[in-house]
Amino acid sequence: MPAAPSDPTSRRNRKVALVCAGVFAAMVGAAFAAVPLYRAFCQVTGFGGTTQRAAAPSRVVLDKTLTVRFDTNVRDVPLQFTAEQVSQELKIGATGLAFFKVTNTSDKPVTTRAIYNVVPESAGPYFQKLQCFCFTEQTIAPGRTMEFPMVYFVDPGYASDFETKGQREVTLSYTFFPAEGPVQADASSVKGREPLGGSQSAGL
């Protein structure tokens, strides 16, 4: 006997179900890709106050001074984190050097990473870092204090951009948070490890 024709309603329901499943899969994939894509976009453009990484100092120094303030924070890590200077006066284009101290207040090594941004956000594309502890993960032994330098300049373009040229103050904010993945190091393996660009110091 010939097969009975399939129900048009059933066929339509199956098509709708397949379309919905495809849309759901695409949304899940987009959600996983959104964070790294957004992070890369911010690093390239300075969007959201993300500072930039420079390969060389500025060749131009303007006779215009800017106040750079420093803000330090920690999130879900047993650290004391302070800036050794509250603020610095710097000519636009000149190279600045700032120091930060981080102390592990726990009895276990802590592997951590710093995220950063600047306020106002429009200053992000012009705040250029030559050297920074935020470029790599840092492992700090129990009770240890480490001193980190940060070398930077504000690009001269800051003085001509209509969004920033009237701003005479920039705040650079750091937050230390747990590094991704389990901590594999122990106190013996991190003892003597030097921070990026500086020496390790105890009892500072």
User: Burial level of 56, CB count in 10 A (0-12/13-18/19+)?
Assistant: exposed
The pLDDT value given to residue 146: 96
Query: What pTM does this model have?
Result: 0.65
Q: Which residues of the chain have pLDDT under 70?
A: 1-51, 180-204
The pLDDT value given to residue 187: 32
* 52 closest CA partner among 157, 138, 146: 157
Which value, to the nearest 10 degrees, does the dihedral of the CA atoms of residues 111, 172, 129, 81 take? -30
Dihedral-angle region of residue 156 (phi above 0 means left; psi in -120 to 50 means alpha; beta otherwise): alpha
The pLDDT value given to residue 38: 34
Q: Which of the 8 DSSP states describes residue 175?
A: E
